[in-house]
Structure 1
């Protein structure tokens, strides 16, 4: 009986340690939770239409179709369909388009970039209210939150095209 309690305690402590995470560097997340203007709402609606067509399409490196798509190809297509703007194909080149904007100035339709590792970048489209549209390697085309601990820790920049 005593051994079972000790094992239960060890399992509980291991779970608590495994679920803990390091604190996220402070970012003014509340600055992004303002109500959307009519123009921003129209932009968000246009991207939501794109999302409805692509939702769940799996991630595939260098993919460009409904069979599989990567983040930069998806953003290229989404921006073309929703905003009628042309973007380059790669995340590297997309990250040089338009102008860099401050975190708290982000608006629906802005591109959001992440540094997911030393040499890997990720891109999505900001939808407002701390949400962005992108292609997850594990879940395909989805909407995620900027204040998710993973994405918050990988945030790099916003760009307005």
Structure 2
């Protein structure tokens, strides 16, 4: 029980001031293409690479409520940083705001870069970035920026939805 509390997700929302692992619809083995400054979505293989590079740069950075810098991130702060650095996209600041934007995606249609949301203590207050398979990257209160399994003991019953920010 103590371990579950330690793993509890971030509360990046401003404080008033058992699904199965998803099917993967990404083609992470597709040939690389030059994206340059052309319009259109980033190919999935490039998305994986870019997000993985950002993750590796920040892996282990401690969790900090309201954190938005490499000194400490909360879950939405890390997501926002990863999207800005890796994908040149700007997302809303809080989990609550992220839940109102993007478009809903069924769990069996997840693609790399989709945001996954979790119910912690009765509210959708934790989020991460889907990386393919059943993996997602996020800022955990217990270990900081890390990678976890959607089907892991703590997370599998807490998944609530996914959103795509094209």
Task: Output the CA distance in 1 between the equivalents of 2:146 and 2:106.
Answer: 24
With normalisation by structure 2, the TM-score equals 0.76
Structure 1: tracts of 5 or more residues without a match: 1-24
Which structure 2 residues correspond to residues 1-161 of structure 1 after superposition, within 5 A?
Answer: 25=18, 27-29=19-21, 31-32=23-24, 36-38=28-30, 39-119=43-123, 121-161=125-165
CA RMSD of aligned residues (A): 1.7
Structure 1 or 2: more helix by fraction: 1
Structure 2, unpaired ranges of 5+:
1-17, 31-42
Q: Deviations over 1:60-105 (max 9, x none)?
A: 1011222211011110111111111111110000111110010010
| Higher relative contact order (Cα pairs below 8 Å, separated by 6+ residues) | 2
Q: Looking at CA atoms only, which structure, 1 or 2, has the larger radius of gyration?
A: 1
TM-score normalised to the size of structure 1?
0.78
Give aligned pairs, total.
136
